[in-house]
Chain A
Amino acid sequence: MIQRISYAFRETIANFRRNVTLSVAAVVTSAVSLLLVGTTFLIQRAFDNLLVQWRGDVGMIVFVRPDVTEEARLFIRQNLESQPNVIDVDELVYLDRTQSYEEAKRVFAGDPTTLSLLSIDTIPSQFKVVPITTDAELVRSLANQYRTLPGVAGVSLAEDEFEVISTLSSFVRTVTIGMSLVLLLVAVILIWNTIRTAIFARRREIEVMKLVGATDWFIRVPFILEGLFQGLLGALVSCAGLWGLNQAWTGGVAGFKPGTGVSSLIVPDSYANGVMVALLVIGAVAGAVGSGVASSKFLDV
């Protein structure tokens, strides 16, 4: 058994060497495509941070002073609920200070200065308002009205804050996912072609192996391993690239003034690590699929 495993590995490495240019092409292509896949994930996550406050069609946030009295808070709520033609009253959500603080931790993940200025005692609580009207002017005039209510610290409108980002985000997502899928396909085809070439280069050897009674899997495994390694190697390179990108990004974002919103575009390391594991898996699977298909098609065993 050990001997068979060592045989498979020796053959895999020998094949790789014999075919350096094609192998490198396959590795680089899978690296680039996987890097794009990973970047898509990270960009999505960064935008998500920015949009987390507005998740669930929230169109307006009414911030309530932390020191507000219970009566004033109730008055604000009544005011909101008195507009069932503009506001979806059932969707009205109130986040108390603890919940708001939890949310702020995510929004200001990349902005520790701002975050440190906040505490459960000083953070405003908030009403998340989902409008039912499509009339933006109506929502805006209502927002202006709420700003004057006692106890209201401020009112933010989604339109001002994130409409652009949201559009940008879905555009970027579509483009990067599209490009990475195409590149991933190219990587699989390149790996497939590398394996085909490797099989052709060794057709004499394979013929002899078949005639002396080597099993199909014994012949196939080194080729499948080769493709798997190419995919995995590409994934490793893409992980290194992704790590570098994220570090540079984090550094760049940290340079922005706190409170500009850009700082919340930061992606936590734990998430980036998760993406890297996913890339390794995708790379290995893509490589194994490409080489597996090639070896069953061209070995004819």
Chain B
Amino acid sequence: MIRLENVSKRYGAEIVAVRDASFEVAKGEFVFLVGPSGSGKSTLLRLMNRQERPERGNVWVAGRNIGELANSQIPQLRRQLGNVFQDYKLLPNKTLFENVAFALEVIGKPRHLVSQQVPQVLELVGLAGKEDRFPDQLSGGEQQRVSIARAFVNRPLILLADEPTGNLDPATGEGIMSLLEAINSTGTTIVMATHDHRVVNAMRKRVIQLDRGVIVRDQERGVYE
């Protein structure tokens, strides 16, 4: 589903974000990218959704070498990906329903499909009945659920999550993790960057550890060291 071949990425001439990274993620896998801040986790995610282009090496996503995609083909790639962020990136002037519907509307999904799929996914993330609230009327955990709903409403092949529990207390974070696990069990591949020990140790999934841009460990059912 995802394959990186000797990928390197620098910001400017000096700062090396990722150095010679190679790994493969199979369909339906759940992978943690761990490491301290600045170790290159976010850059790897940004390479996978083509927010960044690799300087060297190839990034394959869903069978396509995305470093070579023309700009006009990027939207097609992104429609197969869902993105979840630490700061949720919800639109404050839209209701919860509109925030999720937005993801379908801007890719031109017909209205009847929107009104059918959005309630379904809100039910899945446990926010049924709160459709008309605005983001500032929701707790952090609820906002992250909305963000996950928005990422998942288009049934993407891959979900990329960048520190989704970073702003949440442990109990709320657990709730988010079980939601991601449920989504993973539907066959969606999940790659999640985190430096939250508890989450990683509790889940016992594959762990790829980074240190200053270099992969130092790739372990099945690993823990955060």
Contacts and interface: CB of A to CB of B under 8 A. Distances in A.
Interface of A: 3-4, 7, 204-205, 207-216, 218-219, 301
Q: Which 10 A-B pairs have the closest CB atoms?
A: A213-B78, A213-B79, A214-B106, A212-B103, A213-B75, A215-B75, A209-B106, A211-B83, A213-B107, A205-B91
Nearest to B108: A4
Contacts of B217: none
B106 A211 contact: no
B49 A212 contact: no
Nearest to B85: A211
Contacts of B107: 212-214
A212 B108 contact: no
B60 interface: no
Given A211-B51, A213-B79, A213-B106, 5 more contacts: A3-B110, A4-B108, A212-B78, A214-B107, A218-B106
A218 B78 contact: no
| Residue of A204, A205, A208, A212 ringed by the most chain B CB atoms within 10 A | A212
B24 interface: no
A3 B83 CA distance: 25
B75 A214 contact: yes
Nearest to A210: B78
Contacts of B76: 213
B145 interface: no
B6 to A, nearest CB: 26
Q: Which of B51, B72, B78 has the largest number of chain A CB atoms within 10 A?
A: B78
Nearest to A208: B89
Interface size of B as a range:
20 to 34
Interface in B75-128: 75-79, 81, 83, 89, 91, 102-103, 105-108, 110-111
A87 B107 CA distance: 76
A213 B153 CA distance: 13
Given A3-B111, A213-B107, A218-B106, A208 B91 contact: yes
B71 interface: yes
A1 to B, nearest CB: 8
Contacts of A218: 106, 108
A114 B79 CA distance: 75
A85 to B, nearest CB: 73
Contacts of A214: 75, 106-107
A216 B79 contact: no
Contacts of B106: 7, 209, 212-214, 218-219
B69 to A, nearest CB: 12
Select the residue from A208, A213, A216, A218 with max chain B CB neighbours within 10 A: A213
Nearest to B105: A7
B112 to A, nearest CB: 10
Given A212-B78, A212-B106, A207 B72 contact: no
